[in-house]
Structure 1
Amino acid sequence: MVDGLVAGTDALPQLAGTRQRIAFVWLETDGRAPVRIVRTETSVWAFDREGGIREGLDESFIEVMRSIEPSDHSNQTVVQLAPRLSKKKVEREHRWELTKSEIDRIVRDIWPKSKQDSLKHLKGVSQRKPPLTSEARRAIGEIAEGFWKTSSAIDSLKETSLRGFVFEAQQRSKDDPGYEFLFRAIAEMGERRLEVLRRRRSDKGVWYALVEVTRWSDGIGEILERFHERCANRPEAIAAARRLLAEHANKFSTDVTVKAEIITDLEWNMRRDD
């Protein structure tokens, strides 16, 4: 449920419009039995009108970033007042300290001696995730192995070919009931690709400037940081990408690359959760 709240796929309507103090507790276990508490952390979640927390998490992240003092202290006479004020605000609005009685209450929930010791469980609105068996995991893995080929084949088509591809896939979804949903899915992928190409032809509309800092090892890349900026049109996105690239160019090294690109809002919506 917590993963769903963070990802924006779940909600707690009963907590809509409230701020809740959250305690995270890490346990060391022996099998499934808890042995000891390793550490705890606290946070404050602001729930929106639907009971979600994504918007509140984004706002708190911005506040945390603002509270970080610049590393350049070359001018010692300048007092960095704004970061210090933000840090106090972060501590006041997004952090809290566990009291001894609250810790004792958590301990009784982990090692209950009676039914009254167990805390009440909250349920989200999304359907509970069924267990993924090894057989199901293996089947999904085998099916997904060819996904990149499908995506690559669609992305390589030009607009004229894509229109014919979409029409044929839609037709086959009607003619071949056994694979109706698969043909329909690749038709939707083709339509989405067509819309991306259409938007790329125009300087107008929302564009995003994106810079990725990636560490490479044995040909495998691990994205360390991403920086983005929403822009009103493509020329603004190009200028923003150049600026972001210049700001983070010093992170380039023998095994780290700094890459800049501009993408349409449709592509951003497909990639932002990454």
Structure 2
Amino acid sequence: MPVSVRYFLFPEESDPLRLSQRLVDGLIQGKDAMPQYADTKQRVMGVVIQNEDGKPTNIDRTYGTIWTFDEDGAIREGLQEAVAEAMNLGEASSTSEKVVSIRPQLKRKHFNEKYRWEPSSADIERVVRDIWPKKKTDRLKDVKGVSKRKPALTFDAKHALGKVSGGFWEIKHEIDKLKEPGLRGFTFEARKRASEDLEYRHLYNALAEMAVDRLELLKREKTGKGIWYAVLEVMMTRPEGYSEVVQVFREKCEGRDAAVAATRKMLVQHANLFNDHTDLQASVMTDLEWDVLAYPD
């Protein structure tokens, strides 16, 4: 049976508010914010719901978490801090000592006080009325973020976008096969055709820009010069069996050699994050490659 999660904000001394999935995703990714809650800690309830035919049928479980909003009303930094502390808890509990220490229990107690709360039966009942409303007043108000709602993607527009973008991978594949002389000729000819065939000038110019980026990347890989990044990704394996990047460390460097040295330093510095369910993946890359990753600053 399909499962989904709904989120509700519980401000002090006011009614709960509904958080849309779009807003939650934007907050987690660092693309949205709630400035009305800047520099505060807010209680959030997650409700795991079983669905059938797209409709909620049963509540599987509920849990309470505390979000820390920064001065801009964003939560990404607070979430990363919570993840780092959670991983340290795992490390502390896995250490073997002949004398039993109460330090891990104290750390977990502090963690729960800082990031967890227990919804009351009244809190859960209020959320239940929103999920299965019997009257208009049962529905809770929605919280607003700062990002604008994206325009609706119609079926025709989605079909058209899928059809024209289906061959993008082949375009990139063909450009990536070219050597430096071929890339220079490709760029010149694409720009020439853009000036002659005005109806498709935007497409030809885009092809030229792709070739320019590829040419610059080959140059960087050959010389090792320019801006490079040392990157360390923290990968956590979830109980459900999938892995995801939960934290990214990066350092901007001048040249590839400096990036390699910085990567080694980061591996040593953050080695304590490695455990049986957390991996560290180190790499170096140019700023051209870093800029296309989905990691916001």
TM normalised by structure 2 equals 0.67
Query: What secondary structure, in the 3-state scheme, does the structure 2 residue paired with 1:24 have?
Result: strand
Cα distance in 1 between the residues matched to 2:107 and 2:264:
28
Counterpart of 1:23 (choices 45, 68, 88) is: 45
1:36 is aligned to 58
- 1:109 lines up with 2:136 in the alignment: no
1:9 is aligned to 31
1:162 is aligned to 183
2:13 is aligned to none
Deviations 1:158-183 (A, max 9, x none): 44543443444344334333223322
Cα distance in 1 between the residues matched to 2:145 and 2:131:
21
Cα distance in 2 between the residues matched to 1:187 and 1:7:
31
Question: 1:148 deviation in Å?
Answer: 1.5
What are the within-5 Å matches in structure 2 for residues 65-80 of structure 1?
65-69=87-91, 73-77=95-99, 79=101
Worse overlay, 112-121 or 94-103: 112-121
1:192 is aligned to 213
Unaligned stretches of 5+ residues in structure 2: 1-21, 236-240
Cα gap change, 1:77 to 1:15, in 2 (>3 Å): same
Query: What secondary structure, in the 3-state scheme, does the structure 2 residue paired with 1:270 have?
Result: coil
Question: 1:52 deviation in Å?
Answer: 2.8
Question: 1:120 deviation in Å?
Answer: 0.9
Cα gap change, 1:72 to 1:25, in 2 (>3 Å): closer
Deviations 1:245-265 (A, max 9, x none): xx8xx99xxxxxx98643224
1:47 is aligned to 69
What are the within-5 Å matches in structure 2 for residues 253-264 of structure 1?
261-264=283-286
* Bigger RCO of structures 1 and 2 (CA < 8 A, at least 6 apart): 2
Question: 1:98 deviation in Å?
Answer: 0.7
Instruction: Output the amino acid matched with 1:23.
Output: M
2:80 is aligned to 58
The CA RMSD measured in Å over matched residues stands at 4.0
CA contact (8 A) 1:26 1:40 kept: yes
Cα distance in 2 between the residues matched to 1:197 and 1:262:
15
Question: 1:272 deviation in Å?
Answer: 4.5
Cα distance in 2 between the residues matched to 1:172 and 1:139:
25
CA contact (8 A) 1:230 1:237 kept: no
Question: 1:106 deviation in Å?
Answer: 0.7
**What fraction of aligned residue pairs are identical, expressed as a percent?**
42
2:121 is aligned to 100
Cα distance in 2 between the residues matched to 1:166 and 1:176:
15
Alignment size in residue pairs: 258
Query: What secondary structure, in the 3-state scheme, does the structure 1 residue paired with 2:117 have?
Result: coil
Worse overlay, 145-154 or 162-171: 162-171
Unaligned stretches of 5+ residues in structure 1: 214-221, 252-257
CA contact (8 A) 1:212 1:223 kept: no
Cα distance in 1 between the residues matched to 2:51 and 2:248:
40
CA contact (8 A) 1:242 1:260 kept: no
1:149 is aligned to 170
Question: 1:110 deviation in Å?
Answer: 1.6
Worse overlay, 67-76 or 138-147: 67-76
CA contact (8 A) 2:228 2:285 kept: no
- 1:266 lines up with 2:288 in the alignment: yes
